[in-house]
Amino acid sequence: MKTFIFVLMIGLFFLGGCGKTNRNRETTDISVVNQGINTNIISNDINDSNQISSVSNPSILPKVVTQEKNAKEWYIRLVVEDTTNNLISTDAQLGEINAIDTSNYALKAISPFTSRYLDVLFVNPVGVDAGAYKSDFHSASTDADVWEFTVKSFDSSATMILSWKGLYVLTPYTDKQNRTRYYEYRSSTNPLLKYMTLYDVTNGTEVEVLNHGSAQTYVFDMNGSNERVFRWKIKDSSIVAQPKFTSFVKVGATPLSQTEKLHALQVKALRKDAKARPTRLQQQRAQSVDMRQPPLFKVIAP
C-alpha cells in the first residue's frame, strides 16, 4: 500500500510539472508574436504611413509631395455668368505654349445662331490673322504679358459674374504619329497665379485673380452696352512675388474683410436669383430659335 501511494505521488508530480511547462511555453510564444506585430504597426503609423500602404498593396507607390514650380506651359478657362438671363460661357481660353508660332493654337470664333447669346472673344489678338477667336496662346516666357478679351451679351442691362477655372499645367509629349500632345492637370495653388491680375478697361478696376486662395469673382453690369473689355495681366515671373499678407497665420485662415463678405453675399444672391426663374428663361430661349430653319454657323468677321 505504501509503495502504491509513493508511486501515485511521483506520477502526479510529473504530470503537474509537464502541464505547467506547456502552459508557460504557449503563453510566452503568443505574447512575443503579438508584441512584434503591434510594434511594427505603431512604428509604421507614426514614422511612415505610406510604407504601410505599399506593403499591404505593392501596386500603390508612396506619394511624394514636392513644391510646385511656376508653370511654363499653361492655360486658363474664363467663366462668365449672366445672372439676369441664367446663361454661362466657359469655353474661352488664354495661356502660354513653348512655341514661336502660336497661330496653330488659335481657335476661330463663330457667330451666335440665336438672338439670345453670351460669349467671350479675343478680338484681333497679336500673332494671328485679324478676327475673333475663342483661344489666345502666347509664346512661353517669364516676361510680363497681357491678354485682352471682350464679353459680349445680347442684353445690355444684364448683370455678370466674371471668374475663371484653375490654371491647367501642360506637359508636352510626342504621340505615335509624331505629333505634339499634352498631359494636363488643374492647379489652384501654382505660384504663377500670384503674378496675375484682372483689369476692367471700362472703369480701371484691377483685382488679384486669387482671393484667399480661391478664384476671384468680379461682378459687373453691361451698363447699356453689348460689349465689355477686360485684360488678363501677368507680371514678370522671374522676379520673386512678395506675399500679399504679412502674417504668421495661414492665408486660408485669414478672416474676410467686411467688403469681401458683402461681395460673397452678392455673388451668392445673384446666382440664387438666376436659378429661381429657369422656366420663364427656357421659354424665352425657345422662342428665340426658329425651329423651321437649321442653325447657321458663321465665322465672326474682324
Tens of pLDDT, residue by residue over 156-195, are 999 999 999 989 999 999 999 999 899 999 998 899 999 9
Q: Which positions ≥6 away from 296 have C-beta within 8 Å? A: 113
Greater confidence (249 vs 169) lies with 169
The count of domains in the chain is: 2
Least confident of 43-47, 66-70, 148-152: 43-47
Query: Is 263 part of any domain?
Result: yes
Q: Which of 117-121, 248-252, 297-301 has the lowest mean pLDDT?
A: 248-252
Mean pLDDT for 113-130 is 92
Beta-ladder partners of 168: 75, 186
Both 30 and 137 in one domain: the answer is: no
DSSP, collapsed to helix, strand or coil, labels residue 161 as strand
Beta bridge partners of 146: 233
Same domain, 124 and 194: yes
What secondary structure letter does DSSP report for 166? E
What's the rounded mean pLDDT across residues 8-16? 58
Same domain, 92 and 162: yes
Burial profile 61-91: b = 16 or more Cβ within 10 angstroms, e = fewer: eeeeeeeeebbbbbbbbbbbbbbbbbbebee
Domain-embedded: residue 302: no
- Answer yes or no: do 23 and 86 share one domain: no
Residue 231 lies in a domain: yes
Q: Do residue 87 and residue 212 come from a single domain? A: yes
Whether 275 and 129 map to the same domain: the answer is yes
Residue 42 lies in a domain: yes
Residues 199 and 109 occupy one common structural domain: yes
pTM of the model: 0.67
> Is pLDDT of 126 > 60?
yes
User: Is 10 a residue whose pLDDT tops 50?
Assistant: yes
Distance CA 165, CA 217 (A): 11
Per this entry, what is the length of the chain?
302
> Residue written as cell 507614426?
46
Residue 85 lies in domain:
74-242+254-288
Q: Are residues 116 and 237 in the same domain?
A: yes
- Domain identity same for 99 and 175: yes
Q: Tell me what the pLDDT averaged over the chain comes to.
A: 76
| Domain assignment present for 214 | yes
61 or 293, higher pLDDT: 293
The pLDDT assigned to 204 comes to 96
Name the CA radius of gyration of the chain, rounded: 34
* pLDDT higher at 161 or 249: 161
